[in-house]
């Protein structure tokens, strides 16, 4: 992807976006994989590299893949945990956290990493779960799986549950599964009560998360999109900023 800095952002668009956020009041940031791209965490639709090159992430992240080949899916998630734990929040995550100094900010993220929290954001709703919250695949009890192995492996047996004969699974939402109720309800409440919504780095294709920007717009809430590429969002967006999160969010969100 080419470098797109704020110099390349249409300054009229940036002015319009800043104006949309000016009303004060609660701000909601909806983030997707593009938010963490500049931290070195590959987006879902980016080609994978190395050992995982031949796997399609959208096929590994399914209950069917877990039934067919649990050890491969577990190894992939443990590798992603390792990758995320060695990554650092980027300027975009930091700008979102810093905005809390002058306004009420809620983050609703589809990301299963913890980079918003590590940047300092205090209210973060993970609508697709978390890489670090393992639970039993049978009784749903939390399972402590310990740290991920630092070396790359392509198969790994998940640990046994201590309550039943189930196995640890990643605490993330797979394709075809329902979203966890509490963060989803918090997300709906936040976007409908917001004074503005900033959507960052999501393809806007995976529902129901992709419906949150149009829900906001239907409540008269202005929606600013930050994405250097195309997305599935359309008329619900009031202003598009065609730039990378880390490069434009500091200019968009400063006081």
- Catalytic annotation, residues: 128
Helix (H) or strand (E) holding 71: helix 63-86
**Shortest Cβ 20–ligand OAD spacing (Å):** 18
**Shortest Cβ 17–ligand OAD spacing (Å):** 14
Residues 242, 227 contacting (CB under 8 angstroms): yes
Nearer to ligand OAD, 128 or 167 (CB): 128
Extract the runs of DSSP E, i.e. beta strands, from 59-122. 105-109
Nearer to ligand OAD, 27 or 249 (CB): 249
**Shortest Cβ 104–ligand OAD spacing (Å):** 23
**What is the C-alpha to C-alpha distance for residues 119 and 250, in angstroms, rounded to an integer?**
13
Instruction: Name the nearest CA neighbour of 59 among 68, 154, 84, 227.
Output: 68
Extract the runs of DSSP E, i.e. beta strands, from the chain. 27-31, 105-109, 124-126, 129-136, 168-172, 196-200, 223-226, 239-241
Q: Please identify the residue of the shown chain whose CB is closest to the bound ligand OAD.
A: 34
**Shortest Cβ 245–ligand OAD spacing (Å):** 4
List contacts with ligand OAD (CB under 6 A): 32-34, 37-38, 43-45, 58, 61, 110, 128, 172-173, 175, 200-203, 206, 226-229, 231, 244-245
Nearer to ligand OAD, 177 or 185 (CB): 177
Nearer to ligand OAD, 196 or 226 (CB): 226
**What is the C-alpha to C-alpha distance for residues 174 and 149, in angstroms, rounded to an integer?**
23
CA distances 102 to 125, 175, 204, 251, 254, Å, are 20, 37, 28, 15, 9
């Amino acid at each position: 992807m080419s470098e797109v800095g704020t110099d390349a952002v249409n300054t009229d668009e940036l002015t319009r976006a800043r104006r949309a956020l000016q009303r004060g009041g609660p701000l909601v940031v909806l983030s997707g994989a593009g938010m963490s791209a500049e931290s070195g965490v590959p987006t879902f639709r980016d080609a994978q590299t190395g050992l995982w090159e031949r796997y399609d992430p959208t096929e590994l992240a399914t209950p069917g893949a877990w039934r067919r080949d649990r050890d491969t899916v577990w190894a992939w998630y443990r590798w992603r945990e390792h990758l995320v734990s060695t990554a650092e929040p980027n300027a975009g995550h930091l700008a979102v956290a810093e905005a809390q100094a002058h306004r009420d900010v809620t983050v609703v993220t589809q990301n299963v990493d913890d980079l918003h929290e590590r940047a300092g954001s205090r209210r973060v709703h993970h609508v697709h779960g978390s890489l670090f919250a393992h639970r039993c695949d049978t009784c749903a009890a939390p399972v402590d799986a310990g740290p991920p192995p630092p070396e790359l492996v392509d198969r790994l047996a998940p640990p046994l549950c201590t309550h039943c004969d189930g196995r640890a699974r990643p605490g993330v939402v797979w394709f075809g599964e329902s979203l966890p109720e509490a963060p989803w309800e918090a997300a709906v409440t936040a976007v409908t009560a917001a004074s503005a919504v900033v959507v960052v780095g999501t393809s806007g294709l995976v529902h129901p998360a992709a419906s949150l920007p149009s829900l906001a717009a239907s409540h008269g809430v202005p929606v600013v999109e930050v994405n250097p590429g195309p997305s599935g969002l359309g008329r619900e967006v009031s202003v598009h900023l065609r730039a990378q999160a880390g490069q434009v969010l500091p200019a968009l969100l400063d006081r």
